[in-house]
Structure 1
Amino acid sequence: MKVVLTPRGVRRVLARHPWVWQSDVLELPEEPGIYPVAGRRGVLGWAMVNPRSLISVRVFHFGDADDPLAALWRNLDSALDFRRVAYRSNEQAGLRLTFAEADLLPGLVIDSYARHLVVQAHAAAWEPLLGELGERLQAALAANSILARHDSPLREKEGLERYVRPLAGATPAAALVGEGRVRYRVELGAGQKTGAFLDQRDNRLFLGEFLAARGQRGGRGLDVFSYQGLFALQMSPHLDSVELVDSSAAALAAARENAALNRAENLTFTEANAFDLLRQKERAGEQYDVVVLDPPAFAARKSDRQRALAAYKEVNLRALKLLRPGGLLATASCSHHVHEAEFYEMLAGAAADAHRLVRLRARRGQAWDHPMLLTVPETHYLKFALLEVLS
């Protein structure tokens, strides 16, 4: 049995995009699995296929293969080799080991928290392979434990059940992770994503290093959409005070615990809607030296893009108005539907409307262990800018 694509589906695969939508497939098998993908001229590649999903075809090997499963495991080996030095050099690190399509491992995300691995597989064809996946991970990495955390709503779109179960070892409730000088607690079976947002790790470290390099000694900081407080903890040694803002009481409780772990006594915590609070602070005439904006994805769908850009502009405009001359705004977007050019155009518009002269000090993206494929724009999703208000 093979998958037969429409001409448009063939063009996508030839352009080296691994996703083919159900509407671009002429023939599909009845059951999920690993199948060859073909056009009129023969086999184009091998893919994880799910007839119940809108993304019916997820190619992991372009061209024909005598042993497609062996090709899939080679992709896993390549992904682990890419991170092996970082994994071995720091036992307490938080590290992404596989980044799904960007590592030619469709729908497979594996994060390591102090060598406790959390696996999320969102492609149906992984289900019968999970046992072997766990064995291969353990043989390659000697992990402390491996947990299949399949509780994401994304699995329902694939027609898969949601569950959490061990693949190897005994996974503790939480792990203590190191990020530069900061230590933080990750709940391995709960919380957002696999437990933390590792894609911002390098940007958090960069912000702390930037403040140190410019000799920042004192001032006020504001960390909006703070979640576990990891940006605030990188800022805290360089500022007199940092206020963390989040709408989630559970997130702020985790941030308080992380503050205690790091003996950061200059942090305060505010449970509030970020949009409302920023407007209130502007009306009150409050001023800050550093503001961080790390909001959730405002654009879950392509149709949300304009509304998302308006929301990004609103929070960035308010933040810019709160900054003193010489102040810094560290701002991000994790919406892949908002393109990088649109993000910077939005920031320029926010600066103009705030009547602030703003200089770009750094233009960054997701951490190095979240690689991007040039032919797959969906793998390039995180935008991060460090801005300096000149006047």
Structure 2
Amino acid sequence: MKTERPYPYVEIDKRGAARAREGHPWVFDNEITDMEGELQDGALCDVLSPKGRYLGTGFYNSHSKIRVRIISRNANDRFDEDFYRRRVRHAWEYRKTVMAGDFNCFRLVFGEADRFPGLTVDKFGGVLVTQTLSLGVEKIKPLLFPLLVEALERDGISVCGIYERNDVRVRELEGLAQNTGWFPLPGREAPEETTVEIEENGVRYLVDFANGQKTGFFLDQKYNRAAAARLAAGRRVLDCFTHTGSFGLNCAKAGAAYVRSVDVSETAIACARENCARNGLSRIVEYETANVFDLLPSLRPGEYDYIILDPPAFTKSGKTVDSAERGYKEINFRAMKALPRGGFLATCSCSHFMGDARFRAMLQSAARDAGVELRLIEARTQGPDHPVLWNVPETDYLKFYLLQIV
């Protein structure tokens, strides 16, 4: 590089440089061919091509296989408070546009898609719940987190506190300890409660953001739940892997004749039952602790005319995707066999490694084996507050299909 730079640098091989030019923010440890300067974990460094050309600046971490997480490709950027304030504002302005005032609960920051690598920020009522999975962002939290509050409150959206859910093992791959608790905001006292009521699609839920899965509630299916509910009026619905009860409750509120919601977790069923009572829908929805893989084969043909499959990710690695595909096919095959002609199936996968083309092929294979044909009603993905960057495939993970058995 001809221009004097204030940061140490790593030089990467042709493969890494090609991916970086295409906009991918990750530099892996085995792509680095040279380095110079005092590289510090969690601090910034430049990334150079094999010919010494500037590719970007990002957070360095010797503990991680993702050795550098690029946050800027502009050599003129200065990484001060104004820089991060602009980044926060861009994330918020995007949500203001795509969420159309639906701000009771949404994702404010979606990691690499908002160029905050490894950071998740969900809003539940007046609480922001964060998960920080990169060392670089961990180090700038004292600067960054108050800027999140500032951006929202400037538009009249009050924030009573920020709760951290850093109780995930992946932090250890970054050399970070696990922890949970209220983040100390200057001049504010942390709330005492770690539950909050939210409203999504007109359905109310109690979110336990200190103990629930991930940040406490899965927001990515918000509009898919609304789409599924549009088919529910007058139908008998089987809601599988119900978790907090959300798909079943959306269908019940939309006029389903009967909903049976099942999950293998007794804790999840207790939570879903409480959410049902909160919405006055207990006369419509019945809850049961059951293993869906055992339940589906036991169904009488035509017992339900609408089945919803919202399983957890069956794979979090490319190494186990074949096994995961067999699991997805089994539950979809069983659902297709149980549904009558004209019945409806809502089915999805939240695993990035189970790509869309493979998921579609699996559904077609399951339909052939079940002896049915499928009519596509809608193909959907995660909500717009979980944006997909086409140059970062890892941001694209949720597949959701509404189908009719014909």
Q: TM-score range by the shorter chain?
A: over 0.9
Gaps of 5+ in 1: none
Question: Who is 1:151 aligned against?
Answer: 167
Q: Residues 49-64 of structure 1: matches in 2 within 5 Å?
A: 49-64=60-75
Q: Please tell me whether the aligned partners of residues 41 and 135 of structure 2 are also in contact (alpha carbons under 8 angstroms).
A: no
What TM-score does the superposition give when structure 2 sets the normalisation length? Answer: 0.90
Alpha-carbon spacing, 1:250–1:313, altered in 2? closer, same or farther (3 Å) = same
| Structure 1 position 285, deviation (Å) | 4.2
Which of 212, 217, 224 is the matching residue for 1:191? 212
Deviates more, 1:6-15 or 1:258-267: 6-15
Q: Please tell me whether the aligned partners of residues 111 and 118 of structure 1 are also in contact (alpha carbons under 8 angstroms).
A: yes
Q: Please tell me whether the aligned partners of residues 46 and 68 of structure 1 are also in contact (alpha carbons under 8 angstroms).
A: no
Q: How many residues align?
A: 382
Q: Residues 189-228 of structure 1: matches in 2 within 5 Å?
A: 189-211=210-232, 216-217=233-234, 219-228=235-244
Which of 145, 148, 154 is the matching residue for 1:137? 148
Per-residue deviation, residues 333-368 of structure 1 (Å, max 9, x unmatched):
011111111111111111111011220100100001
CA distance in 2, matches of 1:170, 1:207: 38
Which of 251, 257, 269 is the matching residue for 2:274? 257
Question: Who is 1:288 aligned against?
Answer: 304
CA distance in 2, matches of 1:75, 1:49: 19
| Structure 1 position 376, deviation (Å) | 1.0
Residue 141 of structure 2 is aligned to residue 125 of structure 1: no
CA distance in 2, matches of 1:65, 1:273: 55
| Structure 1 position 257, deviation (Å) | 0.6
Deviates more, 1:61-70 or 1:219-228: 61-70
Question: Who is 2:4 aligned against?
Answer: none
Amino acid at match of 1:115: G
| Structure 1 position 289, deviation (Å) | 1.2
Residue 42 of structure 2 is aligned to residue 32 of structure 1: yes
Q: Please tell me whether the aligned partners of residues 179 and 205 of structure 1 are also in contact (alpha carbons under 8 angstroms).
A: no
| Structure 1 position 60, deviation (Å) | 1.2
Q: Please tell me whether the aligned partners of residues 37 and 47 of structure 1 are also in contact (alpha carbons under 8 angstroms).
A: yes
Which of 233, 239, 251 is the matching residue for 2:256? 239
Question: Who is 2:190 aligned against?
Answer: 170
Question: Partner of 1:140: helix, strand, or coil?
Answer: helix
Alpha-carbon spacing, 1:66–1:331, altered in 2? closer, same or farther (3 Å) = closer
Gaps of 5+ in 2: 1-7, 154-158
Question: Partner of 1:324: helix, strand, or coil?
Answer: coil
Question: Who is 2:27 aligned against?
Answer: 20
Per-residue deviation, residues 44-100 of structure 1 (Å, max 9, x unmatched):
101122110111111111141341345444222211111236789456x21000110
Question: Who is 2:363 aligned against?
Answer: 347
- Cα RMSD of the aligned pairs, angstroms, is 1.8
Amino acid at match of 2:43: G
Q: Please tell me whether the aligned partners of residues 40 and 60 of structure 2 are also in contact (alpha carbons under 8 angstroms).
A: no
Alpha-carbon spacing, 1:227–1:358, altered in 2? closer, same or farther (3 Å) = same
Question: Partner of 1:342: helix, strand, or coil?
Answer: helix
Question: Partner of 1:196: helix, strand, or coil?
Answer: coil
What TM-score does the superposition give when structure 1 sets the normalisation length? Answer: 0.93
Question: Who is 1:274 aligned against?
Answer: 292
| Structure 1 position 286, deviation (Å) | 5.6
CA distance in 1, matches of 2:194, 2:98: 24
CA distance in 2, matches of 1:352, 1:220: 25
Which of 370, 376, 390 is the matching residue for 2:386? 370
Question: Partner of 2:213: helix, strand, or coil?
Answer: coil
Per-residue deviation, residues 239-289 of structure 1 (Å, max 9, x unmatched):
2211111111111111011001001121111212111111122xx446211
Which of 62, 76, 89 is the matching residue for 2:88? 76
Question: Who is 2:52 aligned against?
Answer: 41
Alpha-carbon spacing, 1:2–1:73, altered in 2? closer, same or farther (3 Å) = farther
| Structure 1 position 291, deviation (Å) | 0.6
Alpha-carbon spacing, 1:75–1:66, altered in 2? closer, same or farther (3 Å) = closer
Question: Who is 2:105 aligned against?
Answer: 94
Per-residue deviation, residues 125-180 of structure 1 (Å, max 9, x unmatched):
12221111221112111312111221122211111011113223424221111112
CA distance in 1, matches of 2:19, 2:327: 32
Runs of 4+, deviation exceeding 6 Å: none
Normalized per residue, the structure richer in helix is 1
Deviates more, 1:246-255 or 1:7-16: 7-16
CA distance in 1, matches of 2:206, 2:59: 35
Residue 324 of structure 2 is aligned to residue 308 of structure 1: yes
Question: Partner of 2:230: helix, strand, or coil?
Answer: helix
Q: Please tell me whether the aligned partners of residues 98 and 385 of structure 2 are also in contact (alpha carbons under 8 angstroms).
A: no
| Structure 1 position 42, deviation (Å) | 2.7
CA distance in 1, matches of 2:100, 2:306: 35
The sequence identity of aligned pairs, in percent, is 37
